[in-house]
Amino acid sequence: METGSRSYDPLQQSSQFIKGVGPARQVSLERLGIRTVEDLVMHFPRAYLDRRNLVPIGRLVPGMEANFTGTILAVSPRRGRRARSILTVAVGDESGVVNLVYFNQPYLEKYFRQGERVVVSGEMTIYRGTRQLVSPECEAIGSDLTESLIHAGRIVPVYPLTAGISQRMMRRIVHGALEKSSGAVPENLTSALMREFDVPPRAEALAAIHYPESLETLERAKRRFKVEEVFFLHLLLRERRARAGRERKRPPVPPPHPLLERFVAGLPFELTAAQRRVLGEIAADAERAAGLNRLIQGEVGSGKTVVGLAAAMLAIGKGYQAALMAPTEILAVQHFERARLFCDPLGVRSTLLIGAMPKAEKARAQEDIRSGSVDLIVGTHALIQDVVAFKSLGLAVIDEQHRFGVKQRARFGAEEAVLPHYLVMTATPIPRSLAQTVYGDLDLSVIDEMPRGRRRVETKLVPADDRGRVYGEIRAAFERGEQAFILYPLVQESERTDLLAATEEFERLQRDEFAAHPLGLLHGRMSFEEKSKAIELFRRGEIRGLVTTTVIEVGVDVPNASMLLVNNPERFGLAQLHQLRGRVGRGGAAGVCWLLLGEDCGAAARGRLAFFASHDDGFEVAEEDLRLRGPGEIWGYRQSGAPGFRLINPLGDHELVRLSWDAAGRIVERDPGLGLAEHRPVAYYFHRYYRPKVELAEIG
């Protein structure tokens, strides 16, 4: 069917026209990001209930995970001890009766109606001689046999929901969307790719992921959509990199490199073997026609910044400018001060550009950058503003690159005639399979060696009632001349939480526990001048303890700080705790990190933190963090509508990631524009569905 010059596409029709939706429920669906029929059929279940084998109630036995249908015979709310509500729902069939019991959920009473048929899933137990199921899944299935088969007698989907949409309703709506789009789901993989990935056709997989006939078909359907999540991302990254290399050449940086040699020779320390290896990889890339496009990973304190500055000498030595961009003004200033220390003796001209600079200084720096009178430019996102124009940018070094979005990173060199070399750095360890997924357009280098003399930070879990003992150890360390960070998850107390907060605790600690020792305060809501003053006083040792928030995660380097006390560590991810732990033990004294547990810290959180305390390898910590939290939206896109990882786990599915990366590479190398007839299914989906979503997210 044609509508004008555009073909009718059921998948792109508004989801409000699916039976059972309408304008009011469409508002609720949009909170889940659902606007079209395609969004509905791609709204995958978060779990499944195996209701294939329904058993009579009379055959239920204690400990049995069972599925059964029955009729509600009675609904009995009452109050138990301590005034907690208890709702008992008696359900029966021809073979017997069983009670469904719900504690402290009085609102459920209105959902159960006597005489209604329901399907129930849960574990049967015996309490005081009575058979019961505590808080089971229970849904009304009505008398319509066709609709009942959506909710029972099969493997049943359990969807993510929002207010105003019940599980039963969502199943009915998605089922309607599947029927409406039947025959209209475009295949987006070639037959060869489906064989290579061992996945079923797309339409078959879409039906199976919602209503699988077996657990085996469900797993094959999931594998199919895992492939989609990662393959089209890899195709995009491969295609962008190939296109950039064709359209805009990078400046050649061939040897010899006398400025680099002088820089390394003038350092007050020796580079580690790992730093030298990575620097060699950088230099080799800079010679190639494809240029330098590399991600450097390294632990906090492994010496990434020095390697980044050394790379800058490659470009500057050939007459180009180099830029170093940091995510915070504190870190940018720290990098600038270190750069001047190492580079001024070499005659390298440097400047700083951050938002907090006075207007006149900022204008002068922008003019120096434009005229080429400076070689090395250090700054924040101020470097990628429209008013900044480089004379000849040869290298862009981006520190803590995960803190910049894809769009922000792409702004570097966007207006330049010659594409600069790119070097991005992160202290957040990323397992190789995940790095290949998230940063697939970058080559990977790892600085896997710490400078000589760097010692392990001892990490200790401390129960909430041991706070006084920890304060005593910190006071003793202050007497020895050491310094400490005292960290809180919040800036100010909130009425909705009883967590300690930095500002209130700073005043109390200064008045009570540490009255004899000067303390400072640092948090993200302070002005740049206030932050800089606090850090400088701490660095000079004029204050012994710095009461702070996670603002110290990057950019605060105080070698004399040997102690870190983290309040309510259960509020943080393991990777973030690892970053924070890296702030101490950078000088002569051994580092110690106390994790002061909150009073309501549960067993799961304790187990997670115990793992952290016993592991200091950043990659092991990152893998555990990702295993627990899931990868989510981790590749720099945060806006709604951008592709994300819902099914694939690059850690557990690393073999699929490798297959995808290799397949995308072969296709782009052989057919850069996806113009060959054999690639038509891939090209149609990539250009019509996938890339527009990414570009929309980048513009948003």
What does the pLDDT look like over 537-560, one tens digit per residue?
A: 999 999 999 999 988 877 677 888
User: Any idea which fold 47-158 has?
Assistant: OB fold (Dihydrolipoamide Acetyltransferase, E2P) (2.40.50)
Residue 436 pLDDT greater than 70, yes or no: no
Tell me what pLDDT residue 96 has.
94
Q: How confident is the model at residue 246 (pLDDT cuts 50, 70, 90)?
A: low
Q: Phi and psi dihedrals of 322, rounded to 5?
A: -130, 145
Residue 505 pLDDT more than 70? yes
Convert 82-123 into a string of H (helix), E (strand) and C (coil): HHCEEEEEEEEECCEEEEEEEECCHHHHHHCCCCCEEEEEEE
Give the pLDDT band (50/70/90) at residue 494. low
pLDDT value of residue 633: 42
pLDDT at 629: 67
**What does the pLDDT read at residue 272?**
92
Q: What type of residue is 318? A: K
Q: What is the DSSP letter of 443?
A: E
Name which of 69-83, 134-148, 405-419, 468-482 the model is least confident about. Answer: 405-419
- Per residue in 86-116, pLDDT (tens digit) is 999 999 999 999 999 998 888 888 889 999 9
- Report the C-alpha gap between 268 and 636 in whole angstroms: 36
- Rounded to two decimals, the pTM is 0.69
Q: Where residue 699 falls among pLDDT bands split at 50, 70, 90?
A: very low
- Phi/psi at 433 (nearest 5 deg)? -65, -35
Domain locations along the chain = 1-44+174-184, 47-158, 458-615
Place of tokens 């890899």: 234
Homologous superfamily assigned to 458-615 = P-loop containing nucleotide triphosphate hydrolases (3.40.50.300)
For the stretch 364-421, pLDDT in tens is 999 999 999 999 999 998 998 888 999 999 999 998 755 455 555 556 665 555 678 8
Identify the H or E element spanning 548.
Answer: strand 545-548
Question: Percent helix, strand and coil across the chain, each rounded to 5?
Answer: 45, 20, 35
Which tokens hold the place of 324?
A: 């170093």
Q: Which two tokens stand for residue 213?
A: 């006939």
Rounded mean pLDDT, 413-435: 72
Q: Give the per-residue pLDDT at 400.
A: 72
With 60 as the cut, is the pLDDT of residue 5 above it?
no
| Model pLDDT, residue 212 | 94
Select the highest-mean-pLDDT range: 291-300, 396-405, 567-576. 567-576
Which residue do the tokens 């990366």 mark? 661
Question: Can you say how many angstroms the Cα of residue 646 is from the centroid of all Cα atoms in its chain?
Answer: 12
Please check whether residue 252 is in contact with residue 283, taking contact to mean a CB–CB distance below 8 angstroms.
no
CA torsion, points 4, 7, 12, 14, in degrees to nearest 10? 40
Q: How far apart are CA 294 and CA 296, in angstroms?
A: 7
Provide the phi-psi class of 440: left if phi over 0, else alpha when psi is between -120 and 50, else beta: alpha
Give me the CATH topology for the region 1-44+174-184: DNA polymerase; domain 1 (1.10.150)
pLDDT value for 404: 52
pLDDT of 301: 76
153-190 pLDDT tens trace = 789 899 999 888 888 889 999 999 999 998 889 899 99
- Beta-bridge mates of residue 425: 296
Report the candidate in 573, 574, 552 with the shortest Cα–Cα distance to residue 563. 552
Residues in the chain: 700
How much of the chain, in percent, has pLDDT values that exceed 90?
50
How confident is the model at residue 316, as a pLDDT? 96
Give the model's pLDDT for residue 556. Answer: 75
Neighbours of 657 (CB within 10 A): 25
Q: Residue 394 in contact with residue 253, Cβ under 8 Å? A: yes
| pLDDT on residue 79 | 85
CB atoms within 10 A of CB 291: 23
Phi, psi of 477 (to 5 degrees): -65, -40
pLDDT at 152: 72
- Taking only the tens place, the pLDDT of each residue in 594-613 is 999 988 788 888 999 999 99
Give, in degrees to the nearest 5, the angle at Cα 225 between 193 and 150. 130
Contact 586, 561 (CB under 8 A): yes
- DSSP assignment of 494-541 equals -TT----BHHHHHHHHHHTTTTTS-EEEE-TTS-HHHHHHHHHHHHTT
Query: In this structure, what token pair is assigned to residue 291?
Result: 């240029």
Return the pLDDT at 621.
83
